[in-house]
Amino acid sequence: MSKANKEHLNTLQQADIFYDLTEPQVEMVATLCSTVTLKKGDIIFEENSSGDELYVIADGAVDIMLNPNLVQSATEQPSQSLTVATLRRGQTFGEVALVDKGLRTASAHCASRQAHLLVIPRDRLIKLCNDHPALGYRLMRNIAADLAFKIRGTDLTIREQLFWQPRAK
């Protein structure tokens, strides 16, 4: 195994979506990875753009942002993008593109002075899952659990904003 693949393996083993995969299975995923280095403010992808890769943060931080202008009426004043999450080492993003090949649901920007990301192409990962069904089952189950966790968090945030308003005196 190359030095780069060993570094990829170490990073992947810290990510929740690779939980309970065997070391040989994670090694297979590591061979699919490429790396990208970013600096603060670099755009990884924009909301509503197409996407076909999953990202794992090896080092640094990434802001996940929403553009409120996409749902505001033309008469409202434009608003700045809102940071809804800051992700760090071992966390993943872009997994929705693995599931449905739809448009990105948020933007991702480098939030730290520098960040190193592992990039896993959808087509190669899906092929690996198809060729190794046990790996594919575990990985897709973990991605579903990760997405469910994120959806529950988003649901709670929406409920707080809708229903937890200060009481009138």
| CATH number of the domain bearing residue 61 | 2.60.120.10
Distances (CA, A) of 52 to 82, 84, 119: 24, 22, 10
- Residue 1 domain-assigned (yes or no): no
**Confidence at 74, pLDDT banded by 50, 70, 90:** low
- Range(s) of the domain holding residue 65: 22-163
- Residue 132 domain-assigned (yes or no): yes
- Residue 47 domain-assigned (yes or no): yes
Residue entry with tokens 């693995």: 98
Q: Beta-strand (E) ranges in the chain? A: 34-39, 43-45, 53-59, 61-66, 82-88, 92-93, 107-110, 114-121
- Residue 36 domain-assigned (yes or no): yes
- Nearest-angstrom CA–CA distance, 9 and 29: 8
**Confidence at 67, pLDDT banded by 50, 70, 90:** confident
Count: domains in the chain: 1
- Residue 11 domain-assigned (yes or no): no
- Residue 103 domain-assigned (yes or no): yes
